[in-house]
Structure 1
Amino acid sequence: MRALLSRCFLGSLRALSGPGCAPQNQLVTQVAAGRRLHLSRKSMQYLTEERGQPNSPDYRIYFKNSEGKYLSPFHDIPLVAETEQMLFNMVVEVPRWSNAKMEIATKEPLNPIKQDVKKGKLRYVANIFPHKGYIWNYGALPQTWEDPNQKDKDTHCCGDNDPIDVCEIGSQVFVSGQVIQVKVLGILAMIDEGEMDWKVIAINVKDPDADNLNSIEDVRKIRPGHLEATVEWFRKYKVPDGKPENQFGFNEEFKDKDFAVKIIKSTHEHWRALVQKQINSGGISCKNISCCESPFKCSEDETRDVVHSAPTFGCAHAVSPEVDKWHFV
């Protein structure tokens, strides 16, 4: 069964990246920073569709392929974008410098991007001086899952039940829902309230610095202070909410690219077991349109019903001025 899934996975990758791909949709326009994209947006071979009102609990970003078929960014976008250079697809959830904690909704059908809610309130990360919001484009690798039932042999912590996180350190600011190809450089072992929460460090392969950044040591040399800032950001970002500082494995040291790829492959295997129903999903929605041998595979009509049942796109809600407050911790 595993071999069959692997062949289907590689086949879908070739279908997406080969010469037979449908042309990119030209209806979607690029917008300047600070402006919002409407209805449909282009992100490589994927389109996104907004539903609900931005800055509200009902806001969702759904994904479609180049043929307009709805899909899950968690399950249907391939992990590997290009095998020879070992490039991975990254789903951007949070643009650099922004505060809204946007994330793949793992427990909702088709796993749209939504803003996290705690105690009935939308979540925003605090501005901890000197940083404004997130200090990288933040997102996730599709087809990965940090299994809460699997204990890491080094940190002795179990996974956080989410796709593996990515910090993209290039110069461009992306938007929520873009799918970009990244080169992995290293990984940080963050421990969040006792759970393993890996942070992959990567760079957009089209970034001007991509050719010069090939390892975590390159980042240390070419971007002095960036890795230290990353550790401090993750250590303190929950402190203004009354939470304790986060901890780290390996004495707060970043592990290299080979170690990162090993962790990514492991989380991909955990995802594979999840989508094949070989393991308890724990409430995660595995509805998909492309995963071979998956009992959760669904029809085009089913996916359309999921999206069309969500509220139509509307005007954005105002954001509280408190979001721009500085915190000194």
Structure 2
Amino acid sequence: MCLLRMNSLISKSRSMERLKQTLSILSARNCRQFNTIQQGSKYSPSFKKYLTLQNGEVGSFFHDVPLDLDEREKTVTMIVEVPRWTTGKFEISKELKFNPIIQDRKNGKLRFVNNIFPYHGYIHNYGAIPQTWEDPTIEHELGDGDAALKGDNDPLDCCEIGSDVLEMGTIRKVKVLGSLALIDDGELDWKIIVIDINDPLSSELNNLENVEKYFPGILGATREWFRKYKVPAGKSLNKFAYGEQYMDSNSTIHTIKECHNSWQKFLSGSLQNKYDSLPNTERAGKGVTLEDSGKPPSQIPPEVQKWYYI
């Protein structure tokens, strides 16, 4: 009995040490503490890109990467899901353990965005803000004349407008510039406009007026792209709240804080009986590791290259 108790204490001690090590890594707030591994072939159902920590264990893009919001500098963390000019609809999985980046599927078929003239694929480096969640269990009050809408059950989306094409799975500190309230299939789906702080023009951008000056046309093009991007798939034009106007950086910071609070509430488990499809909450701290088993990309279906005029 003494030997069994001793082994149990040793096992618990090791688990505590592993958890302390994991928490230390996560609290460092340094993107270089993170890496990624791949399983399967890009553009195939087998593809998964996982977050890994410095100690080698698997973490969650959704839950383990710090938000790291700096209200004075108006900076936050972004996870890149889709590099600019590409067409594969990749996103952080809500269903799978550890929330890897996968290619979205609909009716069993991998999803690609259509090319809308004059654009090819996504016109931004597209991604998500970790540790945020658009709450689908409550109705969010919007502008005058707008009906209250529920959140889309996803992390906040962000559109990075800098000059570099960013790699899928990279974690960047970005400056918050404004936001657009997309109404997608009757749900609120915020699009946060950001720029990588390492971009040469980042220091010149502090508000939407600066964006118009240094990136003329990008805000209008962003609105039109989100308005039309589903039309080739047979859907109607998307709509926007707040009279289709962009919210400024201060209002956007408020939205980010609200969605971070919603994430904390959801992670606490208090919403389990209020919504049937809450995201998976598995995260680092249990010492789970995976081998990199990535394969060369699969061929993109030729019909994805078609151009649509809308």
Query: Which TM bucket (shorter chain)?
Result: 0.7 to 0.9
Gapped regions of structure 1 (runs ≥ 5): 1-7, 22-42, 290-297
1:232 is matched by which residue type in structure 2? Answer: E
1:202 counterpart (172, 194, 212): 194
2:56 counterpart (60, 68, 74): 68
Mapped contact 1:80–1:86 kept (Cα < 8 A)? no
Mapped contact 2:74–2:253 kept (Cα < 8 A)? no
RMSD of Structure 2 on Structure 1 (CA) = 2.0
1:16 counterpart (22, 25, 28): 28
Q: Deviations over 1:292-316 (max 9, x none)?
A: xxxxxx511xx32xx46xx932232
Alpha-carbon distance in structure 1 between the residues aligned to 2:246 and 2:25: 30
1:315 aligns with 2:296: yes
1:273 is matched by which residue type in structure 2? Answer: K
1:252 is matched by which residue type in structure 2? Answer: E
Q: 1:123 Cα deviation (Å)?
A: 0.5
Residue 312 and residue 14 in structure 1: after superposition, are their counterparts in 2 closer, same or farther (change >3 A)? closer
Q: 1:53 Cα deviation (Å)?
A: 1.5
Match of 2:108 in 1: 120
The TM-score with structure 1 as length reference comes to: 0.82
Q: 1:274 Cα deviation (Å)?
A: 1.0
1:196 counterpart SS class: strand
Mapped contact 1:182–1:202 kept (Cα < 8 A)? yes
Residue 266 and residue 324 in structure 1: after superposition, are their counterparts in 2 closer, same or farther (change >3 A)? same
Q: 1:14 Cα deviation (Å)?
A: 8.5
The TM-score with structure 2 as length reference comes to: 0.86
1:284 is matched by which residue type in structure 2? Answer: P
Q: 1:221 Cα deviation (Å)?
A: 2.1
1:247 is matched by which residue type in structure 2? Answer: K
Alpha-carbon distance in structure 2 between the residues aligned to 1:14 and 1:106: 20
Consecutive aligned runs of 4 or more in structure 1 exceeding 3 Å deviation: 11-15, 81-84
Match of 2:15 in 1: none
Q: Deviations over 1:34-63 (max 9, x none)?
A: xxxxxxxxx633100000111101100001
| Structure having greater relative contact order (Cα 8 Å, sep ≥ 6) | 2
Gapped regions of structure 2 (runs ≥ 5): 1-19
1:318 is matched by which residue type in structure 2? Answer: Q
Q: Deviations over 1:185-244 (max 9, x none)?
A: 001000001000000000000000001111112112221111000000000000000011
Alpha-carbon distance in structure 1 between the residues aligned to 2:207 and 2:235: 33
1:277 counterpart SS class: coil
Alpha-carbon distance in structure 2 between the residues aligned to 1:124 and 1:160: 20
Alpha-carbon distance in structure 2 between the residues aligned to 1:81 and 1:69: 25
Match of 1:286 in 2: 281
Match of 1:212 in 2: 204
